[in-house]
Amino acid sequence: MRERHSDLLFSAPVASGHKAFLYLLFEHQSSFDPWIGLRLLEYMLLIWQGYLKKYPEVSALPIILPVVLAQNDRVWEVKTQFADLLDTPEELQTVFHPWVPDFRFQLLQLAEMPFEAIRRTPAGILVLRTMKAERLKKLLDAVVWDEALLVQVPRVLLQQVLRYILGADIDKGAFEHKLQEIEEPQTRAEAMTLAQQYHHLGRQEGRQEGRQEGRQEGLLKGRQEDVLEALEIRFEKVPEGLVEAVRSIQDEAHLRRLHRTAIRCSSLEDFAADL
């Protein structure tokens, strides 16, 4: 699971000759960010800027429908209307509304979805149940180990889910017992083979430290790539020295600030001055 799949962008026709983008942001942090709407606006601008670079001849931009899937353990009180983030006196909202940007985003919170209420495909149900269970420390509960789901999902996805579970702080003995309880022979054999391969990677004492380091390393790498992607969209070619400088930064807060600078700066020189 080292690949970064934090957001996804889909396109779909909405009418004859028209299409829209569906932007999915996966929010994995445990504490909520009241400024999700502002981040979404930044990402939407990047999508539109990238679209114009790819199709400079267009006369109109596609609609973007933003959706946030939050892997939280309790319900967040988040404003889903961008205009609600602005300090506008109530009596002047109608006056100022034509002059300020505004949009609404769809917020899907796993914390307010009972396990049994998660619907759609077996693969989608298993993934969302696993993500919800991880926050609640229920990765070994029956809602995740539903054999009716396990036997229907693609093998590669089942392997990813099992790796995700093994990477969490769980009772390894209880995990192996869950594997043995799987009745379908092929699924049980594949799952047990994967578990054996995982155990051969090193001693159990070293795995805890490795997981923490790996998660932090993956998070920092994702932040670095966000900054570089914003620069590439804005200025196309980024000097190798600047790329190396960004990838050498190991402070997450610094990388967050640089991401905003990459979106707003007028030149690569201005960006480099903030490094």
Band of the pLDDT at 4, cuts 50, 70, 90? very low
Question: Among 205, 271, 208, 263, which Cα is nearest to 234's?
Answer: 263
The total of other beta-carbon atoms located within 10 Å of residue 89's CB is: 8
Long-range contacts of the stretch 167-170 (C-beta < 8 A, 24+): 167/1, 167/211, 167/214, 168/134, 168/139, 169/137, 169/208, 170/139, 170/140
- pLDDT (tens digit per residue) in 15-40: 888 999 999 988 877 677 889 999 89
Helix, strand, coil percentages, rounded to 5, for the chain: 55, 10, 30
Q: Tokens at residue 172, please?
A: 């390894």
- pLDDT (tens digit per residue) in 70-116: 988 888 888 999 999 999 998 998 999 999 999 999 999 999 999 99
How crowded is the C-beta side of 192, counted as CA atoms within 13 Å? 14
| Cβ(139)–Cβ(127) below 8 Å | no
Residues shown for the chain: 275
Quote the pTM value: 0.64
Q: How far apart are CA 70 and CA 78, in angstroms?
A: 11
